[in-house]
Amino acid sequence: MDVRTLYEAKLTTADKAVQAIDSNSDLAMGMAVAEPPAILAAIARRAEAGTLTELRVWYLLSQVHAGSTIFRRELLGPIRPQCLFMSGVERALIKADPAAEALIDFVPTAFSGSPRVMRDEVGMDACVLTVSPMDADGYFSFGVANDYTSVVAHSARTVIVEVNPAMPRVACPAPLHVSQVSAIVENHVALLSFGEADAAPEDEAIATLIAEMIDDGACLQMGIGNLPGAVCRRIANRRDMGIHTELLTPPLARLAQQGAVTNRFKTTETSLSVYSFAMGDEPFYRWMDGNPHVYSMPVDVVNDPAVIARNDKVVSVNATIQVDLQGACNSEFMGGHQHSAAGGQVDFVRGAYGSKGGLSVIACRSTARGGTVSRIVPKLDGPVTTPRNDVHWIVTEHGAANLRGKTLRERAELLIGLADPRFRDELAKVL
């Protein structure tokens, strides 16, 4: 059977496709922009009808499609979120009803470990995701979300894809063949779009400090948020930089479009901007589509510290919520609740430091809650995301400090210097 005939044989409606999903089973959902809206809506209808119960949904970084369908408050119970990275969807559920927190199972895992957890430790019965249209050889591209999704899609018993022409086609090591798919649903809708907000004055000051650390030939990893965009705007005049990042964004794409990124000095995937998942807007997705210089890979490869360190001059930039006076960072817990997750922060902190000439930067504004709370603290309010042993550079709007090779007292003194002046005397009392 040729691939087009096989495609047509598997093409069906979302409601029919999700009949293959069993109760009391484990399902992996495409991450972020790869959430399949038509399939998720059909799963929600089954849960509403009572024909699908005890469905454990594994995922990171849920977005509006999941939030408006399977993760509605009334469906928490028959559908049980197995969350590896909390987003605004889960936070809104808990804010509206604190009892919802007990119905969302958080699974602490580094982003790099998520494929192994889903494939090996648990084993996914099903996988649902959005893919690009099939090519002439019968392959679908994972587009904006290779991450854990590609690994699970190659191992799950049931794989249901939602084909969307808006999904960019991006080369990857192991695209998904139509013969590996259980059912195909077509849905022609716009991909989720994420705009860029203006950076606050504190972020602009932090970005200026970080940009001064980035030289020609640096290999970049940038996290999410306003700060990375502010950094990227300040390094557009650099030359021959590379990209090896878990998250690809419009600010990184602009560096490539401006000629600042060539990837010529990378030792892994030379000439290619490598990422694991991507979030942006429609022009950004168009830039990705068919771009021969963009390449997606599973997160257990992209975020492997040993792989990261093979490139020279890796610069990793990520954010945190709190830093204690020994240098440990809490980047995931706020207000007594899980706020996000570790993600790939530690992966890149270790990979960048292992890189020849590399450095990792963890940045935060010095205060929170309108300047009433210091982010430099004697003791963290939550778990340690990045241990003190791994932290390299800490940057606030008040300066930058390299903590490597420093004693505990030297670290505390440096970090107090990065705190807002209003809190420095109080922090100094704990020395």
Q: Which fold has domain 201-428?
A: Glutaconate Coenzyme A-transferase (3.40.1080)
Identify the sign of the CA torsion 12, 15, 19, 22. positive
CB 245 within 8 A of CB 274: yes
Domains of the chain, residue spans: 3-186, 201-428
Q: Which tokens hold the place of 57?
A: 């949904």
Residue for token digits 């440096």? 414
User: Do 3-186 and 201-428 show the same overall fold?
Assistant: yes
Cα(40)–Cα(363) distance, integer angstroms: 36
Within its chain, how far is the Cα of 266 from the centroid? 22
- Nearest CA to 191 out of 159, 144, 226, 135 is that of 144
Our CA angle for 364, 368, 372, nearest 5°, is 140
DSSP 164-205: -TTSPP-B-SSPEEGGG-SEEEE---PPP----PPPPHHHHH
Give Cα separations from 341 to 45, 320, 337, 344 (angstroms). 30, 11, 11, 9
Structure tokens at 206: 């932090």
**Residue 234 pLDDT:** 97
Q: Is the CATH number of domain 3-186 3.30.565.10?
A: no
Which residues, in sequence order, are CB contacts of 292 under 8 Å at separation 6+?
Answer: 171
Whether 182 and 11 have beta carbons less than 8 Å apart is answered as no
pLDDT for position 198: 84
Of residues 83, 269, 282, the one with CA closest to residue 167:
282
Residues annotated as catalytic (active site), given as ranges: 246
What confidence score (pLDDT) does residue 199 get?
Answer: 85
Task: Please tell me the pTM assigned to this model.
Answer: 0.95
CA 280, 286, 291, 296 dihedral sign is: positive
The pair of three-digit structure tokens given for residue 306, joined into one six-digit string: 């040993």
Rounded (10°) CA dihedral 265, 267, 272, 277: -120
Per-residue pLDDT, 30: 98
- Looking at residue 197, what is its pLDDT? 81
Q: Which residue from 156, 177, 162 is spatially nearest to 58, judged by alpha carbons?
A: 156
Rounded-to-integer distance, Cα 423 and Cα 339, Å? 25
The CA distance from 24 to 56, in Å, is 7
Compute φ and ψ for 394, nearest 5 degrees: -115, 135
d(CA 39, CA 266): 39
In the predicted model, residues of the chain with pLDDT beneath 50 are none
Candidates 323, 306, 319, 316; CA nearest to 403 is 323
